[in-house]
Chain A
Amino acid sequence: MKKIMKNAIFTILFSVLIILALFLAYLFLYASNDRNLSGKWTADLDMTGQAAVTALGWLQDMEAVSVSLQDMEARMQGLTVKLDLTLEQTARSGGTFVSTVQQESYAACSQAAYEAFAAVFRELVADRLRMAGYTGNTDAEAVEALVVQTFGMPTVSYLMTCVPDLLPPLEDLQTQYGGSGTYETAEDILTRQSDSGSLIRTRTERFIRKDTTLILTEETASATPGNLAGHYPMIYTLE
């Protein structure tokens, strides 16, 4: 009986070892060995959390009605800004890069965020209208008409003009994520050095490339300028 047990345990351990060896071989041969990162990569920056928290913070000033963060995030799902990263390998383990935030994508994301925000605002206003004994129509169109009558502009425009920005300014995103310069790869570390005038910035990230996917994760040992921690890992797709 003991012998059977020993054989079984040995078999299981051996199988696990074989699987691990195969996995490491896969990573060695395919995943981490793809050092050529040349190409135009695109990543999505998720703005849902930030936009939802900002919108919620503003709406919390309203008396007697409320919305939860979960509801607000659900209403703002899929708010992303596209980030382009073009890498061109010019040496054995390095080259040049250009990184930019897509302006059109930013504008579309901002519009979508404010439209979702406006929809929630209209619903809360409708609740308050009913509480205030208003007997007129309180559907979205009717509330929108009241907003236009009150402020002389649609809800989205009013919110864009008069309340805190839901998204960080495009300029800030460009400063944070954009830039151009040179890069180097060593092992699974990507080091980008960008120069904007007199300021030289170095960003070190761990990377994994698999086919048309490039994953950048935070390199904890590096002093990454800017606060990107919230957006890691960044998943780029090769166009």
Chain B
Amino acid sequence: MKPMPKTILRKINVFLLSVILACTMLPVHADAAYEIPGICQVQTDTGAAGTVKTMDYNYDRNTYFSLRDIAMLLSSTGKPFSLEVTKNTVALNPGNAYTPAGGENTPWENSENPDIALRRNEFKVSGETVYYYTLITALPSGSYDCFMMAADLAMILDVNITAPNPGFLQIDTQTPFRVSPSDLENAGYFYGVNGVLAGDATTGEIYYQYQSDTPYPIASTSKLMTCLLAMDAVSSGQIALEQQVTVSDAAIALSASSDGVIPLEAGQQLTVQELLVGALLPSSNECALSLAETIAGSEDAFVQMMNQKAAELGLSQAVFYNCNGLPVYTGDAIPSKRQNRMSAQDMFRLVSYLLKVYPQITDITSMKSAALPSLDLEVKNTNPILHNLPEATGLKTGTTNKSGACLVTSLAADDGTTTHDLAVIVLGTEDSIERGRVSALLARYALQTFCDSAPEAGSPETGTVPANMPTHAEAAVDRILRTARAGG
């Protein structure tokens, strides 16, 4: 083969350098993300109306609305809110008067792409720290504006927002926010989501389900089964929460790998309680492995226990290959990639059992962060719902390429007489943004349905049983356990 002439090589080099130089000078973006500025006409039930600036993120009608424009519109209604926006944070106080920054309810001054990124920004809503995926942009006046999804704002303000026509938004300030999953399903909202389910874990009543009987990969939500078996081992006296566990070589190797979450070193010891916290909050795979090895002697033996427990609980679609939900390859010449799988119904049953028998699990899963004294380390909870919904009590996130983003959420719902645990199962969403949104909407729906169906205080007795007295054994035990825990 003849070598390429030097002149041709030189020309190629010059061309490549020119391209690189042009790219650095021109605003060319390597990623596909872009924002489309637009406007929307907003009408309120009190007669206030006006123009609201919007930004469509990545795709048409994936619309985020200007909070300043909406705050200005709602300032004369019964749902005003104050707003302070900095480059990275937003303070939003419902009920407070809004102070205009200038330029509200006017169209964009120019149609230039504002070039801002969708981020999980920190909000202070009535002083509480919450997180929302929003777009924050600088205004010509020097102040900042924040662009938010209508449903997120509707949930914060507890107002009903509808979009009767494209480019038009109706805000009913006197109607509380309501979700209809069946309407969302009909509109294709759950298309691409593997399976969802929302229901009352205390009674077993299912409020809404979509593709809930088909098994899908569950990623790190598998650790709920690992923790259930750990709780079983504690309650049977096999292990103690304070028991020190020396991490194994396998756990250390996992810790050092790309799937490692908590840095572990040879000879380190953690308590069983710390392993539970590590497995549940930051989703430590090495902590889950340490629990499995402590309880069953080996991960293989523990996986057998997981599958046996699944059968005992009637989880008909559940199959476990490991204790943490990571992909597992077979040792074949052409290895197969396997992942733990469950249906949303199976997960609901597992979570219901866990919340009934071991309600103390929410003492762990409801923590936004926790200390691991043995490692002198603080770990953070990966559960996004925990911050945004005061009723949320955990439980577990999970993500792999195959499973998509999964989230299992528990909520404490109180009807004034009794407290129930509600559960929302979301399997296989596109990303953590969609996972959070779907879970938040279904959580609101679960709370809404629970409140709608709760008997009114002082309702008459039915038959010979006094009102609000449980007639089923598990419900009776649940009430007694809650009394004991409240007293304890």
Contacts and interface: CB of A to CB of B under 8 A. Distances in A.
Given A63-B356, A132-B485, A133-B358, A151 B469 contact: yes
B362 to A, nearest CB: 11
Nearest to B360: A133
Contact of A135 (B472, B474, B479, B488): B488
Given A128-B481, A132-B481, A61 B465 contact: no
Nearest to B312: A64
Nearest to A147: B480
Main secondary structure of the interface of B (DSSP, over half): helix
B474 A61 contact: yes
A129 B464 contact: no
Q: Which 9 A-B pairs have the closest CB atoms?
A: A133-B360, A61-B473, A131-B235, A150-B483, A64-B357, A62-B473, A61-B474, A134-B484, A150-B480
Contacts of B470: 162
A55 B472 CA distance: 12
Interface string B457-475: 0000000111001111110
A136 B473 contact: no
A161 interface: yes
Interface in A144-167: 146-147, 149-151, 158, 161-163
Chain B interface category by residue count: 20 to 34
B167 interface: no
A121 B235 CA distance: 19
Contacts of A161: 464-466, 469
Contacts of B474: 61-63
A231 interface: no
Contact of A134 (B465, B472, B481): B481
B373 interface: no
Contacts of A201: none
Chain A interface category by residue count: 20 to 34
Given A129-B480, A129-B481, 18 more contacts: A58-B472, A58-B473, A62-B473, A63-B474, A128-B357, A128-B477, A132-B359, A134-B481, A134-B484, A143-B480, A146-B480, A146-B484, A151-B479, A158-B469, A161-B464, A161-B469, A162-B471, A163-B473
Contacts of B477: 62, 124-125, 128
A119 interface: no
A191 B163 CA distance: 82
A60 B471 CA distance: 13
B487 interface: yes
A59 B473 contact: yes
A46 B359 CA distance: 41
A210 interface: no
B471 A146 contact: no
Nearest to A128: B477
Interface string A113-140: 0000000010011001111111110000
Contacts of A59: 473
Contact of A125 (B353, B472, B480, B482): B480
Contacts of B357: 63-64, 128, 131-132
A164 to B, nearest CB: 9
29 contacts: A58-B473, A59-B473, A60-B473, A61-B473, A62-B473, A63-B474, A124-B477, A125-B480, A128-B357, A129-B480, A129-B481, A132-B360, A132-B481, A133-B358, A134-B481, A134-B485, A134-B488, A135-B488, A136-B484, A149-B487, A150-B479, A150-B480, A150-B483, A151-B476, A161-B465, A161-B466, A161-B469, A162-B465, A162-B469
A33 to B, nearest CB: 52
B185 to A, nearest CB: 31
Nearest to B474: A61
A135 B488 CA distance: 8
Contacts of A60: 473
B311 to A, nearest CB: 15
A66 to B, nearest CB: 11
Contacts of B231: 131
A134 B363 CA distance: 13
Contacts of B479: 150-151
A129 B451 CA distance: 28
A60 B464 CA distance: 23
A101 B465 CA distance: 27
Nearest to B483: A150
Contacts of B476: 151, 158, 162
B487 A136 contact: yes
Contact of B471 (A63, A121, A147, A163): A163
Interface in A5-45: none
Contacts of B487: 136, 146, 149
Given A125-B480, A149-B483, A161-B465, A136 B488 contact: yes
Interface string B346-360: 000000010011111
A125 B476 CA distance: 9
A150 B418 CA distance: 11
Interface string B97-114: 000000000000000000
